Each structure stands twice: as C-alpha cells, then as structure tokens.
Amino acid sequence: MSSLNQVATQYRSLRFSNIAEALERLIGEAEANEVTYLQFAEQLVKHEMSSRDVKRIAQNMRRAGFPLHKTLSEFDYRAQTTVSKREINALLDFTFIEQRQNLVFIGPPGVGKTHLATGIAVKAIEAGYKVLFVTALELIEILELAEISGELKKKIQQLAKHDILAIDELGYLPMSKQGMYNLFQLINAMYEHRSLIITTNKDFTSWHEFFFDDNVAVPIVDRIIHHSKIFMLGGESFRLREKLGK
Ligand code: ADP
Ligand code: MG
C-alpha cells in the first residue's frame, strides 16, 4: 500500500493540491467521525472546490487594485444620511450586475463615494465576481498607452472582461480629445454588457464641461446613465468632520 505522502503526491500531480495539503487531516476526521466511503469521497472533492474558491477570491481581491480596502461594515450611515443602508444592501444580491446596470455616486468630496464604491465592489468579489478598480486618470493613461502601442482594442476587450469596472473620480480633471475618445470606445464596449461603478463630483448636467467635445460627451453620458442607479450624496465632508472632531 502507498504511504500517505505518496498518495498526497499523486493528488498533487493531478493538480488536486488542496486535497494533497489537507489529506492527513481529512482522513483523520473521516476516521474519527466514522463517515461512509461515499461521504468521504464527497468531502475530498468539496474540500478541493471550496479551497479553490477561497484562493480565486483572494486573487481577484488583489487584482482588483483597490487603493484602500474599505468595507461596507465600516460605513456609518448616521454620518451619511443621503443614502440608506437598505438602498445599499439591496444592491448586494448583485442583480445589478446580472442586468448590466451601472451605479453612479455623485457628490462633493469626502462624502463617502469611494468608500461605498469600494465596499460594494469588495462584496461583489466575495460573491465571485471580477472587478477592476481604477481612477479615471489611471484609466485614461492605461488606454492612452494601449492606443500608442496599437493595442487599444485588445486592452478594451481585456478591461471589458471584468464584471464590474469601477471608475473613481470621473470628471475631476478635463481630458484630452483622444483620452475622451478612448474612454468612449471602452464605455461603448461595456454598454449593456458589463457594469460600471462610477464616482464623480460632477452632476450630469455639467459633464460636458470636462468632456470638452459635446459630440462625444452626450453619447458617453447617455450610455452611462441609461440603465443606471444614481446615488446623489450630500452632506459635509467626512474627512473634514473627523478633523473638526464633530
Ligand atoms: P469621496 O470619495 O466622496 O471623496 P471617501 O469615500 O474617500 O469620500 O471618504 C473620505 C474618508 O472618509 C474615507 O476615509 C472614508 O472611509 C471616510 N468616510 C466617508 N464617509 C463615511 C461614512 N459615512 N462612514 C465611515 N467612513 C466614512
Ligand atoms: Mg473619492
């Protein structure tokens, strides 16, 4: 009969490394609990599957590129009364992703837009979705670099593979005509296909100011707003309040 180590090595060579790692413990538990052979066979495969899920989620969390790992449980709805916990929690069944809807958080600085966008995206990853979190500035740069090397289309396809593309701080700075055009290509590719989460300090009515060419701005804004849930956040800056000890 093979030794435990030999069996573990065989599992590993078949790429069941999670079973291999936990084999001794799983066997010990099965013996202690006197489970049936069928139950044990099931426990092995379940262990492999759930371990893969955990690792994939951890990998997706790293790849999402959050600037800060903020969670919804850290969000204080008493400090931000223009959005309710119920409204935000209602998003967490992720029908908005299945229905290819966008979420847009509009409001002045410091009111929790990035925190909420991050918190929802973290939950989405935990539920098995893929997310990329970028600032608008980073996104424009990514697209620009791809455009220069003649790989814009490829890059857009790659970005559109995420279930959610979160674009933070859209509209804070004006962008070049080419930047805007590249962004339009991306939003077009994602439109009715993937979800965007956008945070912005600009009301839609003033978006044409930063997308300086209206011919492009109108269709971009149109595509973002169509199928969107819009959250208008108000109130005082949380950062300022913390500083003032309010
Ligand atoms: P915005 O993106 O609207 O400028 P942020 O989401 O970055 O604001 O919030 C600024 C800081 O204040 C962050 O550290 C954030 O975690 C915190 N913050 C904002 N609103 C809340 C809130 N309601 N509860 C807890 N922390 C908050
Ligand atoms: Mg922000």
Please state, in angstroms and rounded to a whole number, the distance separating the CA atoms of residues 71 and 94.
16
Atom of ligand 1 nearest to the CA of 79: 23
Ligand 2 centroid – CA 86 distance (Å) = 22
pLDDT at 212: 59
Pick the closest to residue 195 from 112, 132, 123, 119 (CA basis). Answer: 132
Ligand 1, residues at Cβ distance < 6 Å: 70, 74-76, 79-80, 107, 109-115, 199, 238-239
Please state, in angstroms and rounded to a whole number, the distance separating the CA atoms of residues 120 and 124.
6
pLDDT at 7: 97
Pick the closest to residue 131 from 182, 193, 72, 66 (CA basis). Answer: 66
Over residues 179-202, the pLDDT tens digits come to 888 998 999 899 888 999 999 998
- Angle formed by the axes of helices 136-148 and 177-190, nearest 10°: 100
Determine if the pTM surpasses 0.85.
yes
Q: What is the DSSP string of 28-61?
A: HHHHHHT--HHHHHHHHHHHHHHHHHHHHHHHHH
Please state, in angstroms and rounded to a whole number, the distance separating the CA atoms of residues 192 and 170.
20
pLDDT at 220: 76
Atom of ligand 1 nearest to the CA of 112: 6
Please state, in angstroms and rounded to a whole number, the distance separating the CA atoms of residues 33 and 233.
54
H/E stretch holding 160 reads none
Ligand 1 centroid – CA 231 distance (Å) = 15
pLDDT at 46: 98
Ligand 1 centroid – CA 70 distance (Å) = 9
Cα separations in angstroms, 213 against 101, 130, 147, 220, 242: 26, 32, 20, 11, 39
- Which residues of the chain fall below pLDDT 50? none
Spatial CB neighbours of 159, under 8 Å, sequence gap ≥ 6: 132, 142, 165, 186, 189, 190
Over residues 54-70, the pLDDT tens digits come to 999 999 999 999 999 99
Q: What percent of the chain has pLDDT over 90?
A: 74
